[in-house]
Structure 1
Amino acid sequence: MNAKLSADLYITGAAEIITCVANGTDRLGRIPDAVLAAKDGWVLAVGPANRVEAEVDMTGAKVIDASRKIVAPGFVDCHTHLIFGKSRAKEFALKMTRSTVEIEAMGIDTGIPASIAMTREASEDDLFHGAMDRLTRMLRHGTTTVESKSGYGINRTDELKMLRVNQRLSAAQSIDIVSTFLGAHDFPPEIDRNRQSERNRYIETLIHEMIPEVAESGLAEFCDIYCDDGYYTAEESRRILEAGIRHELRAKIHTDAYSGIGGSALAAELGAISADHLNYTSPLEMIAMAKAGVVGVVLPALDFAVAHHRPVVPRKMIEAGMTLALGTNLNPGNWTESMRFVMLLACRNHGMSLEEALLAATMGAAKAIGRDADIGSLEKGKKADLQIWDIPEFEHLIYRLDHNPVVSVIKTGRVLFDNGRRKS
């Protein structure tokens, strides 16, 4: 007779555990009246109490009572600009009634250049403390893994500063930080982007100086770029992403947000791990990305924040066979910390089902950062990253428009919030 495995964490009494592991026609793998056992931060078993207790010894385990509550995987936020200087709240509020031209005529900087200026001015400590505050709130909303991009430095000194903050954040708190180099988020404001010689000079710096240094120092694992009208062309994007690949930085791409200039086709050709935004992506590009295994990251909060005139259409990507992910796109022009809010927008404004949205916020998002072997679902052998919702039915997750249902958050088996209270 095999000896039982010994658990150090036992979640009992849940009205339902949503595993996000497909079971027949149930894509979410919902298990009623379920329990979960974990050891050293990893799931040992999940299912009906009699089956789990037959496999696992609960003696001495910490018990979490989830009676009448729902347990689900922690959210994975796979697209954020977590680190930035001051806010752009004034710009955001004025844009409700005024144009960008009118706002800039008032002496107020706007857009990415404004964020670049504020991030360059901020010290590393200031950036660290600001990001820590945001992470604390993201955790409270059930997020347990966050991808964090650079991209508001746009020079060697300030890009490296942002990436060092990612390292400090990883060491200082419990959310997993996945670091992405986005030195090609824009061109430096001090150059003339309309002069090819100046564009080329910065691109050469990215390829021959910044990317090698980032890779050699282990400051990031992905290389991202903004391929769109007014930013980087498809050919420029190819050169930069291929340089990243040569240095073992896997490719990501912001593309098709405001025009279709070939970024999605490039993502498929290079085998990028994800392509993000995708408002102008063609059906043929969707099929190509599906065949190449490129995850499509859709950003409903961004479309909402900017009142996008061509909101993304996830249904077309799903029908093309793409795996979809959701991200907050947290940034100074789209300050969104709640993945549940993003799910609500994805369902209400973009035609996703609640089941599709949850999978995109967990397993899909984990795939978009190469973490799906360890996170994104609740099953044996994966991290015990989970959240507990105090709602009577799953549908209340988006039905209660302004309600945060999270009462407990557990990260790698460690209870960080319990009954709404932060744990040390």
Structure 2
Amino acid sequence: MDGGRIVAVGDVSRYAGRRVLDAADRVVMPGFVDAHTHVVFGGTRVQEYAARVAGLEPPPGAPAGILGTTLATRACATPELVEQAGPRILEMLAHGTTTLESKSGYGLDTATELRILEAGRTLAADLPVDIMSTYLGAHAFPPGVEHAAYVDRVVDLIPAIAETGLARFCDVYCDEGYFDLARTRRILEAGIAHGLKPKLHLDAYSHTGAARLAAELGATSVDHLNLTTMGELEALGAAGVVGVYLPCLDFAVAHPAPLDPRRILDAGMELALATDICPGCWTTSMQLAVVMACRHGGLSVPQALRAATYGAARALGCDTVTGSLEPGKRADLIILDVARHEDIAYRIGRNSVTTVVSAGTVVVG
């Protein structure tokens, strides 16, 4: 590695290193890429989660659901959002994540959505992690606002976000009770018109038909996919759209129809993996996502590791920069204190990462 880039892989006998990292009998692999997160938010929903796992309703007044987090997030100024999200991201880094996506969506008003994206920009500048931001104003409908009027607000904010470079992607939660196909199209097309690449949350709890729209618009990725048909997955594969699998989320919410990620592969799609860290799925470890993807999703360890690195980089459109160990790519890599890559899936609940290199600099270890 030199100048933050990978110079050579394999036989490097013709190079003399200024510094050598001893990785004998250890696994060296690309840094994890977390392709779907909501890591910037305010507060906690631990009371709700504790009640749900016990089969109970949350106690009165406890924050619950997207709107519960929205209230807590609106109460935070940008520095407070940075202060709360920073330790979460550092925990992700310690578990081997060197690139991640960060969505807005817990503001559901103009001021807070902008603060979330501004917090993401600050965190990207302050921490040794590559953070790519996504505008998800269309995460839910805020109470007391007529739906058509709220869609207008979401669309009206896009030019300012694009002009200031606060986000690279525009995302919509298309599902029953959230945003329908017509509103999804309008928001994504507005994003495209201003240079924001489309992404979609789709078919998590109902079949929406949004997969065809994603293929038509050339979405970078589509996420959840629990109820998407095989024909739609094949159309997405033909369009080069990446499918993002969220095994920890399916586990955390006890999803009634958890995604079988092998369907994504069978359809010819590139598969990506993500933690979906959010108030309803608080995990910072891509290693845990690999464990879940193998045991609950039926993936082989190589399939899960590809999805957690190269596939996830494809889902963020940065696969020419990171996600694999190839000359010319950014030197993002991790060293694990195990001798076989399969140990990542085998040693459940353990952090096997001892060293993290981000852009050629050792930042952990």
TM-score (norm 1): 0.85
Q: Distance in 2 between the 1:77 and 1:173 partners?
A: 16
Match of residue 219 from structure 2? 272
Match of 1:117 among 67, 71, 79: 71
Distance 1:362 1:124 in 2: 30
Aligned residue for 1:62? 19
Q: 1:94 aligns with which of 51, 59, 76?
A: 51
> Quick one: distance in 1 between partners of 2:180 and 2:47?
31
- 1:181 corresponds to which of 129, 132, 135: 135
| Larger relative strand fraction | 1
2: CA distance between counterparts of 1:190 and 1:113? 12
Residue of structure 1 equivalent to 2:58: 103
Q: Deviations over 1:353-387 (max 9, x none)?
A: 11000000000000001100010000100011000
Q: Which runs of 5+ in 2 are unaligned?
A: none
Structure 2: distance between partners of 1:83 and 1:118: 12
For residues 4-403 of structure 1, the aligned pairs below 5 Å read 38-47=1-10, 51-54=11-14, 56-58=15-17, 61-99=18-56, 102-103=57-58, 106-191=60-145, 198-207=146-155, 209-403=156-350
Q: Deviations over 1:87-115 (max 9, x none)?
A: 1011101101234xx326x3323110001
Stretches of structure 1 that go unaligned for 5 or more consecutive residues are: 1-37, 192-197, 419-424
- Partners of 1:216 and 1:256 lie apart in 2 by 31
Deviation at 1:206, TM superposition (A): 1.6
- SS of the residue corresponding to residue 248 of structure 1 reads coil
The alignment partner of 2:12 has SS state of helix
Counterpart AA for 1:103: P
For 2:20, what is the secondary structure of its paired residue?
Answer: strand
**3-state SS in 1 of match to 2:8:** strand
- Structure number with higher relative contact order (C-alpha < 8 Å, ≥ 6 residues apart): 2
Instruction: Give 1:18's aligned residue.
Output: none
3-state DSSP of counterpart to 1:71: strand
Contact 2:45-2:62 within 8 A present in 1 as well: no
Q: How much has 1:120 moved relative to structure 2?
A: 0.4
- Counting matched residue pairs gives 365
Q: Deviations over 1:247-301 (max 9, x none)?
A: 0100000001001111211111111000000000101110110000000001000
Structure 1 segments (4+ residues) deviating >2 Å: 106-109
Q: SS at 2:36's partner residue?
A: coil
Which structure has the larger Rg?
1
| Deviation at residue 334 of structure 1 after TM alignment | 0.4
Q: What letter is aligned with 1:140?
A: A
TM-score under structure 2 length normalisation? 0.98
- 2:149 maps to amino acid: R
Distance in 2, matches of 1:392 and 1:76, equals: 22
SS at match of 2:350: coil
Fraction of identical pairs, as percent: 48
RMSD: 1.0
**CA distance in structure 2 between the partners assigned to 1:96 and 1:338 by the alignment:** 21
CA apart distance, 1:39: 0.6
